[in-house]
Chain A
Amino acid sequence: MPGLITMDDLSNEEILSILDDAERLLPVAKGDHYLPLLQGKILGNLFFEPSTRTRMSFETAMKRLGGDVVNLGDVKTSSVVKGETLFDTIQMVDGYTDIIAMRHPRQGAAQYAQDAARVPILNGGDGAGHHPTQTMLDLFTIRQAHGRLDGLKVILAGDLRYGRTVHSLSHALTRFGCELIFASPELLRMPREIVSDLNAHGAKVTETEDLLGSIDTADVVYMTRIQKERFADEDEYAKVAGAYKLHASNLEGSKESMIIMHPLPRVDEIHPSVDATRHARYFEQAFNGVVARMSLLCRLLNIEVPASIGGEA
């Protein structure tokens, strides 16, 4: 496996095996055990657009495993601002590092970088395209809560048009036979080509503008942020965004085991009253970014994760 550009680069068996490794790495991610599996390895963090969680969790993952990280730094002060092509940047970083994590505002940038590089590329988001490492941590969180990935009923809500996390996640969930409900305003519906691909793979997909209608039967509610700048005027935004807010009182009839996820940052689509409910999983989800990325770094660098870590079999 050269890199991870889209979820199509992983078979279902590989996904499950990477999640198994991630589970065993939990004590390492928490700092309870030091396991320098990646000592001597260097990760190049190339973030051409802002990132907090993805960049920091890659850095934490590498360091928890004894590896090192070099950062592109602020794009405004790097050679990118002088007009350097992505190809040239990749040629340079490829020589400095063993693996590259990259986020770029343009779609296709991760595949382009992989074609230009010798080392594996981990796609940390390319425009409105894919975000497979987020999907891996999302799958980890779902499996942690439900003990399985198959046959779940998952609501994906909010900005499904531009939200790359939901694009990658919906592909992966379809492969595990989940039932998907896409709840979004008309303007921010899941792109047609994605829905048609999902249908071609036998997906059970329902599209609706009503978030709350099926919340009582859902196993997972995956919320995303609706960005103001997508709308022509503020009134329209306010009207639409108001319909995609969750409050603790909306969850009274839901299944006990239902979890609420969010790739973060949230603005006001999840009211703080939800934080204290048993359903809230978004902060654990953010933590799981470390363990999922630890597992992916090991896999892509061909480093085997021991079957037993810290005395646990």
Chain B
Amino acid sequence: MSQEHNMRRVTAIRNGTVIDHIPSGQAMRVLEMLGINKGTSVPVSLVMNVPSKKMGTKDIIKVEDRELNQDELNRLALVAPDAHVAIIRAYSVAEKLTIELGDEIVNVVRCTLSNCITSNLREPLAHRLKIFSRSPLELRCHYCGRPQELDELANNVL
């Protein structure tokens, strides 16, 4: 099945954001990490487990009438680091964005160590995970230094 066919599974959007090349099964988590899963009134289309030449299968999300900014997209570094993002204006791709992994992931997820000081959610300082290694991705808590299990982290989205 072609790329075009995948994209046509849902209607083309006039304005908004398309997030492509999300690892299969991660679309719901992407919505969660972007805060689009609740309290949002914009139309959202979601395609899961469609064929992909590069990935085997993948998920795609289209968010209408909302342009995600770079900071919001960077939140996806943990679950969809290779996602392609297109900002759509008047049915055309106006901008292409890639997810950037900085030196730190701030206030996206909290440390997985239950005894970390940041597990008291009343503590006001930012949740900070440092990029210890990029390939393979290894994150460590800025405060307690604990290496993070990436699977567990997905359950600790703020």
Do B145 and A86 touch across chains, with their CB atoms under 8 A apart? no
Tell me if B12 is interfacial: C-beta within 8 Å of chain A: no
CB-CB contacts of B81-106 with A at 8 A, as 1s and 0s?
Answer: 00000000000000000000000000
Tell me if A29 is interfacial: C-beta within 8 Å of chain B: no
Tell me if B141 is interfacial: C-beta within 8 Å of chain A: yes
**Closest A-chain residue to B122, C-beta based?**
A85
Do B116 and A106 touch across chains, with their CB atoms under 8 A apart? yes
Tell me if B39 is interfacial: C-beta within 8 Å of chain A: no
Tell me if A17 is interfacial: C-beta within 8 Å of chain B: no
Given the known interface contacts A85-B124, A86-B123, the answer about A106 and B146 at a Cβ–Cβ threshold of 8 Å is: no
Q: How many residues on the A side are at the interface (Cβ–Cβ under 8 A)?
A: 20
| The stretch of A109-117, A222-230, A255-263 that contacts the partner chain | A109-117
Partner of B115, one of A87, A112, A128: A128
Do A129 and B144 touch across chains, with their CB atoms under 8 A apart? yes
Cα A147 to Cα B28 with chains together (Å): 61
Chain B residues with CB under 8 A of A112: 117-118, 123, 125, 143
Cα A87 to Cα B111 with chains together (Å): 18
Most chain B Cβ neighbours within 10 Å, of A108, A109, A128, A193? A108
Chain B residues with CB under 8 A of A133: none
Chain B residues with CB under 8 A of A108: 111, 113, 116-118, 141-146
Do A86 and B117 touch across chains, with their CB atoms under 8 A apart? yes
Do B116 and A107 touch across chains, with their CB atoms under 8 A apart? yes
Given the known interface contacts A86-B117, A128-B115, the answer about A107 and B144 at a Cβ–Cβ threshold of 8 Å is: yes
Chain B residues with CB under 8 A of A106: 115-117, 119-120, 144
Given the known interface contacts A107-B116, A112-B117, A128-B115, the answer about A87 and B124 at a Cβ–Cβ threshold of 8 Å is: yes
Do B120 and A85 touch across chains, with their CB atoms under 8 A apart? yes
Given the known interface contacts A106-B116, A112-B118, the answer about A85 and B123 at a Cβ–Cβ threshold of 8 Å is: yes
**Closest B-chain residue to A193, C-beta based?**
B147
Do A127 and B120 touch across chains, with their CB atoms under 8 A apart? no
Cα A105 to Cα B120 with chains together (Å): 12
Chain A residues with CB under 8 A of B125: 87, 112, 115-116
Chain A residues with CB under 8 A of B146: 107-108, 193
Chain B residues with CB under 8 A of A127: 115, 144
Most chain B Cβ neighbours within 10 Å, of A83, A86, A107, A109? A107
Do B115 and A111 touch across chains, with their CB atoms under 8 A apart? no
Tell me if A63 is interfacial: C-beta within 8 Å of chain B: no
Do B115 and A104 touch across chains, with their CB atoms under 8 A apart? no
Tell me if A6 is interfacial: C-beta within 8 Å of chain B: yes
CB-CB contacts of B136-152 with A at 8 A, as 1s and 0s?
Answer: 00000111111100000
Cα A156 to Cα B144 with chains together (Å): 23
Chain A residues with CB under 8 A of B113: 107-108
Chain A residues with CB under 8 A of B142: 108, 111
Interface residues of A in 120-141 (CB under 8 A from B): 126-129
Do A129 and B145 touch across chains, with their CB atoms under 8 A apart? yes
Nearest-CB distance from B56 to chain A (Å)?
Answer: 31
What are 19 A-B contacts defined by CB distance under 8 Å? A85-B123, A85-B124, A105-B115, A106-B117, A107-B115, A107-B117, A108-B117, A108-B143, A108-B145, A109-B117, A111-B142, A112-B123, A112-B143, A115-B143, A116-B125, A126-B117, A126-B144, A127-B144, A128-B115
Binding site for B on A (CB under 8 A): 6, 83, 85-87, 104-109, 111-112, 115-116, 126-129, 193
For the complex of A and B, list the 4 residue pairs with the smallest distance between their C-beta atoms, beginning with the closest. A108-B143, A108-B144, A107-B144, A106-B117
